[in-house]
């Protein structure tokens, strides 16, 4: 995979690799609803994401952070990805963050489902885990909707979930590799 750009389209979203052309958007959106970060910090974050992305290959994922773009408007509305920076964990963690004004519209579920398709399709990962703070019922509900198995609570009292390629029935059939003209 290395430097290949990722672009996943769903009904309402474009989920794609962050590039150096996105530095201004990253500066405005890195902390979502908390406000902008300095341009130099945004450049560092983009370089960090690209360096991690270059290490990813089928069956081996370090960290993948993708932009969530609203298809109708082109607006950057959040982040999603897979994190396996902690290699002591058996599988990568699924994550998704949306700007607050996009909560409750099914977009986190749509992004998470697309990511599972990518994880179990082109990345050929055997399993993915997820978690949410105990007060984050909406995120718990997303993981339930995408078919993740509830494992109980984690060490910090949050919700723990896991899904394997074999038990995933919601995403892999919907995933299509992007076409290049």
Q: What pLDDT, on the 0 to 100 scale, is given for residue 156?
A: 86
Q: What pLDDT, on the 0 to 100 scale, is given for residue 3?
A: 52
Q: What pLDDT, on the 0 to 100 scale, is given for residue 175?
A: 43
Which tokens hold the place of 121? 């399709």
| CB-side neighbour CA atoms (13 Å) of 69 | 19
Q: Spell out the domain ranges in the chain.
A: 7-174
pLDDT digits 0-9 by tens, 121-155 = 999 999 999 999 999 999 999 999 999 999 999 88
Beta partners for residue 131, in sequence order: 160
Alpha carbon of residue 31 to chain centroid: 15
Angstrom distances, CA of residue 1 to CA of 73, 139, 170: 29, 29, 24
| CB-side neighbour CA atoms (13 Å) of 7 | 6
Span 62-75, mean pLDDT? 94
Decide if 114 contacts 123 (C-beta within 8 A).
no
For the domain made up of 7-174, give the CATH fold.
Aminopeptidase (3.40.630)
Q: How confident is the model at residue 170 (pLDDT cuts 50, 70, 90)?
A: low
pLDDT digits 0-9 by tens, 41-61 = 999 999 999 999 999 999 999
Q: Could you give the CA distance from residue 31 to residue 37 in angstroms, rounded to a whole number? A: 8
pLDDT digits 0-9 by tens, 73-112 = 999 998 999 999 888 888 999 999 998 899 999 999 999 9
Per-chain mean pLDDT for the chain: 88
Q: Could you give the CA distance from residue 11 to residue 9 in angstroms, rounded to a whole number? A: 7
């Amino acid at each position: 995979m290395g430097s290949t750009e990722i672009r996943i389209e769903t009904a309402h979203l474009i989920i794609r690799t962050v590039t150096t052309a996105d530095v201004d958007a990253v500066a405005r959106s890195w902390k979502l609803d908390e406000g902008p970060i300095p341009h130099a910090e945004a450049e560092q974050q983009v370089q960090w994401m690209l360096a991690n992305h270059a290490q990813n290959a089928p069956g081996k994922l370090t960290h993948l952070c993708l932009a969530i773009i609203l298809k109708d408007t082109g607006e950057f509305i959040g982040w999603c990805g897979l994190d396996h920076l902690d290699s002591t964990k058996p599988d990568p963690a699924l994550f998704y963050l949306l700007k607050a004004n996009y909560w409750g519209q099914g977009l986190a579920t749509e992004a998470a489902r697309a990511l599972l398709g990518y994880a179990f399709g082109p990345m050929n990962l055997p399993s993915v885990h997820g978690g949410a703070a105990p007060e984050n019922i909406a995120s718990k509900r997303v993981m339930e909707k995408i078919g993740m198995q509830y494992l109980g609570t984690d060490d910090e009292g949050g919700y723990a979930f896991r899904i394997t390629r074999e038990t995933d029935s919601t995403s892999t059939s919907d995933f299509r590799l992007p076409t290049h003209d």
